Chain A
Amino acid sequence: MDDRSFVAAQDFLLSSKTFWTKQIYEDLKRTYEDAVARSGKTPTTPADVAAILEGDTLYRYFAWLERHLQRLKYAGRYGLVPYHDERRSVLAPPLRDTGAELSPTLEMPSYYRRVDIHQHPGGVMSDELDGYVYERGARSTTPLMGASHADLHHRFTDLVAAQDAERVLYGRILDMGCGFGKSTQPFHEAYPDARIDAIDLSGPCLALAAHQAPSRSSPKVRFRQMNACATDYEPDSFDLVTSTMLVHELPPGEIEKLFAEAARILAPGGRMVHLDFHAIDGPFARFMHYGHGLRNNEPFMQPWAEMDIHASLSDKGFTNIKVIPFQEAEGVDLENHAAWRFPWTVIQAELKTGG
């Protein structure tokens, strides 16, 4: 397929997704609110919302489009996977010797192998070009944010760094589930003197990170293939452990291991901060978010959203636990956003000193 056709098709799919995000979603929300007003009963659970919406024709199209626009984006005739596959001979060689520390024998957890995340055929770990596919796909995950999506990671890093105005606290940083390095770069910019380890299960993503991240040439930043739930670090290895959009991909048991592992390798008093989806306001938003997880092949969205974070973290020795809704872009109204959005949330805690 030629580049022009690929871009035209992807642009078409993205515009369709934008229409879905605004007009279809807003109309659906009105349909729902009208039905609630007519019934005189206030839904309290996602199941109540399902009972109202599931037979509705607009809802059926809404759900269909959410699933299939994503399928077409990845696996359609002009999909990301066939597009990159056709360019393999050019794209693959530079990824083969990048300085990323890969562990070809690392065992991939079953949750990771069993479901193709984001409807990316084969997930992000079965083909050497998967990093490119994921990187290109991530540019259009949130259509309304457009170019300011790049901002998201900077806004998150700014929020973390704002709690450390002197830039003294975090000399050793771990970015868990770093993907192709988009979350790592802003930390490297904010903390140029810090030693940063960025780890991920996906060899192809790490290779791309090491190949193209601006931080790749810095001896301070290492990209290492590792399971974040079972790392090879000694206790007291990091002052800050962070992740973006990692936690919701894990089943509950693995999330417990992830938090325990962070507690094990953090310095006493060290901080853990995750950007993910968790604080969800009301049954309608909850119904939409759980449905998104199922339709987008992210099956653990619901158990994670329902997890008792405070209990889990205080069990593991964390204190000062905060779960804070996160404004992903300037101007987003967290209380009452008209268009579809992710329930962005920052989860942060400190490891107790002593004890």
Chain B
Amino acid sequence: MRISDSLILDRPEQNFFADPALDRAFGVVMALATEVYVQRDRVRALERKLEAAGIIDRADMDREPSEDERQANAEDREAFVEGLMINLLGKQQAKGAS
């Protein structure tokens, strides 16, 4: 079944904020937060299994990363941040009507 199977078409949802846009946007936030927690739970489970199999040392994973490792991640991190934050600028990426 899909989530959309349970959508009721003739009854609008209750709104609690002055602008219903916030009601909906916060729904997206909570759905995303749920996904994040599901991923987090899975990573932790994976780490426990890998440690039990002698493949990783979790204390080692928890330690502050070396300067080299941080640098190695910098490019990836900056691209991540840019993709996120660029939305705040309110600029077009392909020219068209404003």
The 30 listed contacts between A and B (C-beta, < 8 Å) are A4-B41, A4-B42, A5-B38, A5-B41, A8-B38, A8-B40, A8-B42, A9-B34, A9-B38, A11-B37, A12-B33, A12-B34, A12-B38, A60-B16, A60-B17, A64-B23, A67-B14, A68-B30, A69-B30, A72-B34, A75-B3, A76-B34, A77-B31, A78-B34, A79-B3, A81-B1, A81-B6, A86-B1, A121-B6, A295-B14
Residue A339 at the chain B interface, CB threshold 8 Å = no
Q: Interface size for chain A: under 10, 10 to 19, 20 to 34, or 35 or more residues?
A: 20 to 34
Task: Mark interface residues in B1-39 (1 if CB within 8 Å of A CB, else 0).
Answer: 101001000000010111000010011001101110110
Assembly CA distance A75 to B13 (angstroms): 14
Residue A82 at the chain B interface, CB threshold 8 Å = yes
Nearest CB in chain A to that of B36: its residue: A12
**B41–A68 touching, CB < 8 Å:** no
Nearest chain A CB to B32 CB, angstrom units: 11
Residue B45 at the chain A interface, CB threshold 8 Å = yes
Residue A197 at the chain B interface, CB threshold 8 Å = no
Assembly CA distance A122 to B59 (angstroms): 48
Residue A13 at the chain B interface, CB threshold 8 Å = yes
Q: Which B residues contact A (CB, under 8 angstroms)?
A: 1, 3, 6, 14, 16-18, 23, 26-27, 30-31, 33-35, 37-38, 40-42, 45
Nearest chain B CB to A336 CB, angstrom units: 28
Within 8 A of B (CB), among A66-125: 67-69, 72, 75-79, 81-82, 85-86, 121
Q: How many inter-chain residue pairs (CB < 8 Å) link A and B?
A: 62
Nearest CB in chain B to that of A7: its residue: B41
Assembly CA distance A9 to B3 (angstroms): 15
Assembly CA distance A85 to B3 (angstroms): 12
Residue A213 at the chain B interface, CB threshold 8 Å = no
For B23, what are the chain A residues with a Cβ–Cβ distance below 8 Å? 64
The one of A8, A64, A67, A82 in contact with B1, judged by C-beta atoms closer than 8 angstroms, is A82
**A4–B3 touching, CB < 8 Å:** no
Assembly CA distance A344 to B63 (angstroms): 49
Q: Which A residues contact B (CB, under 8 angstroms)?
A: 4-5, 8-9, 11-13, 16, 60-61, 63-64, 67-69, 72, 75-79, 81-82, 85-86, 121, 294-295
For A121, what are the chain B residues with a Cβ–Cβ distance below 8 Å? 6
**A8–B41 touching, CB < 8 Å:** yes
Nearest chain A CB to B18 CB, angstrom units: 8
Assembly CA distance A314 to B31 (angstroms): 50
For B17, what are the chain A residues with a Cβ–Cβ distance below 8 Å? 60, 64
Q: Identify 8 new A-B residue pairs, CB closer than 8 A, beyond the known A5-B41, A9-B38, A64-B23.
A: A9-B34, A12-B34, A60-B17, A61-B16, A63-B16, A64-B26, A68-B26, A85-B1
**A82–B34 touching, CB < 8 Å:** no
For A85, what are the chain B residues with a Cβ–Cβ distance below 8 Å? 1
By Cβ-Cβ distance, the 8 closest A-B pairs, closest first, are A8-B41, A12-B37, A121-B6, A64-B16, A63-B16, A60-B16, A5-B38, A85-B1
Nearest chain A CB to B13 CB, angstrom units: 8
Assembly CA distance A63 to B26 (angstroms): 12
Nearest CB in chain A to that of B37: its residue: A12
Nearest CB in chain B to that of A15: its residue: B37
Nearest chain A CB to B7 CB, angstrom units: 9
Assembly CA distance A85 to B17 (angstroms): 33
For B34, what are the chain A residues with a Cβ–Cβ distance below 8 Å? 9, 12-13, 72, 76-78
Nearest CB in chain A to that of B44: its residue: A8
For A78, what are the chain B residues with a Cβ–Cβ distance below 8 Å? 34, 38
For A64, what are the chain B residues with a Cβ–Cβ distance below 8 Å? 16-17, 23, 26
Assembly CA distance A64 to B31 (angstroms): 14
